[in-house]
Amino acid sequence: MKTSRIKFCLMALICVLMTSCYTSRVANGNMTITEPTLKVNSQKNHFLLWGLLPLGETQVAKEYVGDRKDYTTETSWTFVDGLLNCITLGIYTPTTTTYYLPIGDVKK
């Protein structure tokens, strides 16, 4: 009984520590990752079975950046995404994708 409580506490601690874990940032066009950008929008992506099966369209950048060639996308797990993944044991695995444009391009 005591070991199951310890395991539960460790799993809860791991969920709390996973805030903004698994972040990947991709620069498209002539951009670099370190270039100053402004956030345009965010989108939730819904997956099943540890991210193997997407539900609906995911990461449709054209809706947020238009015909621009230079933009950055960042895909990450928020705390809520990680918590939902843990609660459903990986059956439902959401991620959050954020779109960024270069500062000079936003003013155009």
pLDDT tens, position by position, 13-46: 776 666 556 777 878 878 888 888 888 888 888 8
User: How much is the pLDDT for 21?
Assistant: 62
Q: Where are the domains of the chain?
A: 2-106
Half-sphere exposure of 42 (CA within 13 A, CB side): 10
pLDDT of 59 > 60? The answer is no
Rounded distance between C-alpha atoms, residue 107 and residue 51, angstroms: 36
Q: What is the helix (H) or strand (E) element at residue 22, kind and residue range?
A: none
Alpha-carbon distance 77 to 15, whole Å? 11
pTM of the model: 0.67
